[in-house]
Amino acid sequence: MRLALFGGTFDPIHSGHIQAGLAAASEHSLDRILVIPCGHPPHKPESCGASYEQRYKMVQLACEADSRLEASRLEEPFLGNEPNYTIDTIRRVQSTLEFDQPLRFIIGIDAFAEIDHWRRAAEVRAAVEFLVVGRPDSAADVSANAGTCNAKHVDCAHPASSQEIRHRAKIGGTLADLAPPSVCAFVWEHGLYRNWRARKGTVLRTTMGA
C-alpha cells in the first residue's frame, strides 16, 4: 500500500486541499491519504477559528469526494494543549500502520521552503518522501529547496484559501467556488467564523447552488 500523510490546520478544509490530495494520488499512484487536522499547530499558537471537532468533521465531509482520502485523528489535541509536531505523527504512523516505503508527505510549496525550521527537521527529511504541491512553474523551486531530502513536484494550483473562506463567512459571502458543498453547508449551519445568522437561509441556498 502506498500511503501519504496530508496534515494542516484545515480551518476550514477547502477545494484546493482536495484537488491537491487527488493530484498527488494520481501522479504518484497513492492508495491511501490520511488527511490530518492538527489539534494544536506549533506555528499557530493562537486559537483556530473552528474547534478541533468542527475542523475534523469538515475534513470527514470533504474526504467523501474520493475513497483514497481518509480523515484521521492522529493529531487530536493532547492533554495540556501540547503542540502537535510532524515528527511525532510520522513516528506514530511508522509504528502502527503498514505501507510500502517510502512514506509520502503531501505539503504546499511555501511550507516546504520552511521545513528546516521544523522540530527535528533532519529526522523529518529522512523519514518521508515529500510530494510538494505548487504551481506549474514551481518544479524548479522544489528541486532547489530539496537539499538532501527526497521531494517530487505535484502540479496543482487551485485558488481557494482557508483565509478567504473565513473572510467570506464573516461577511456572508458565497463559498461555493472555494469549498465542497457539504463543507459550505457545515460552515453556515454552525455559524462558523462569525455567529452570523441573518439571511443565513438565503446564503446557504446560494452556496449550495440552488
Helix, strand, coil percentages, rounded to 5, for the chain: 40, 15, 40
Tens of pLDDT, residue by residue over 3-26, are: 999 999 999 999 999 999 999 999
What's the CATH code, domain 3-158?
3.40.50.620
Query: What confidence score (pLDDT) does residue 80 get?
Result: 66
Residues 96, 111: Cα–Cα separation, whole Å: 26
Using a pLDDT cut of 90, give the percent of the chain over it: 68
CB atoms within 10 A of CB 80: 6
Q: What CA–CA distance (Å, rounded) separates 209 from 6?
A: 29
* Structure confidence at residue 68 (pLDDT): 98
- Assign 207 a pLDDT band (cuts: 50, 70, 90): very low
Answer yes or no: is pLDDT of 165 > 60: yes
- Measure the CA–CA gap between 162 and 11, rounded to whole angstroms: 6
* DSSP, res 81: G
Mean pLDDT of the chain: 87
C-alpha to C-alpha distance for 41 and 81, rounded to whole angstroms: 10
Contact status, residue 208 vs residue 185, Cβ threshold 8 Å: yes
Q: What is the pLDDT of residues 96-153, one digit of tens each?
A: 998 887 999 999 988 998 998 999 999 999 999 999 998 767 776 787 677 768 999 9
The set of cell numbers assigned to 113 is 521552503
pTM: 0.88
pLDDT digits (tens, 9 = 90+) for 30-73: 999 999 999 998 876 556 799 999 999 999 999 999 999 999 99
Which residues are 4's β-sheet partners?
Answer: 33, 104
| C-alpha cell recorded at residue 207 | 452556496
- How many residues are present in the chain? 210
What residue has cell string 521545513? 115
pLDDT at 195: 58
Cβ(152)–Cβ(28) under 8 Å? yes
Q: Buried b / exposed e across 51-76, counting CB within 10 Å, b at 16+?
A: ebebbbbbbbbbbeeeebbbbbebbe
Among candidate residues 122, 127, 25, the one with its CA nearest the CA of residue 68? 25
**pLDDT of 201 over the 60 cut:** no
Residues of the chain with CATH 3.40.50.620: 3-158
pLDDT for the residue 140: 66
- Render the burial of 130-168: b for 16+ CB within 10 Å, e for the rest: bbbbbeeebbebbeebbeebebbbbebebebebebbbeb
